[in-house]
Amino acid sequence: MSTPKRSGGYGPLTKIVVCLMSLVVLLACGSSIDNSQVKLPLPIESTTVGPDDVFVLRIVGEKDLPEEYQVASDGTVDLPYIHRVPVSGLEPHEIARAVRERLIEAKILRDPSVVVMIKEYRSKKITVLGQVQKPGSFPLTSGLTLLQVVSLSGGFTSIAKTNQVRLTRKLKDGAKTVVLSVDAITEGSSPDVPLQAGDVLYISERVF
């Protein structure tokens, strides 16, 4: 009775195992996410002031007055002649108008010209949590991106899951969380992602 010959190829079960292992390796090594396909609302730029923000206020013709002011924790600012003025949530031109009206009401100046310019937004921040060297909150500067804020936080740790970074963005009707790949940005296959005030990034740990 002759012994059946074995074929030189893999059996069906072995082929399935090899395919699954190859897929796992590809998923582990590839960036796996195309950021351009992620449905993330565009950042909304806000120029309203909040606590700790610093602005320059000039009253034309009043050269001896201080010009730089910081918003207090209660959202007010202490100004010459008119004392505490609520400014939190106001645009620079709205602050100028409020100061002008107060000066006229107090009969300090008859028709003052007031100019306000923001020097530093300290109330608008981006929070980075998880596997970065320096987790914490960072001031939002104009044009700040995902890659830039990762750099500000000292870069990723050695166990960071860089191809799946969770970004949570506040919206008018709640919040939205998406998963982004920093690998795709550094590889040049996806554009960098602009951030907005209040964004929270979470970088999880890789599973080995």
- Same domain? For 106 and 92 the reply is yes
Query: CA-to-CA distance for 159 and 132, rounded, in angstroms?
Result: 9
Among 92, 120, 148, the domain boundary falls at 120
Within-domain flag for 12: no
Residues 6+ apart with CB under 8 A from 47: 91, 92, 118
Pair 104, 163 in one domain: no
Looking at the predicted structure, is the pLDDT value of residue 190 above 70? yes
Q: Please tell me the predicted confidence (pLDDT) of residue 108.
A: 93
The number of distinct structural domains making up the chain is 2
Decide which of 86, 120, 154 is a domain's last residue: 120
Residue 47 lies in a domain: no
Mark whether 197 and 172 lie in a shared domain: yes
Query: Which is more confidently placed, 129 or 7?
Result: 129
Q: What mean pLDDT comes out for the span 47-69?
A: 93
Domain that holds residue 136: 124-208
Mean pLDDT of 45-60: 93
Domain end, chosen from 120, 138, 166, is at 120
- The encoded tokens of residue 139 equal 């001031």
**Each residue's pLDDT tens digit, 135-168:** 999 988 888 999 999 999 999 999 999 999 999 9
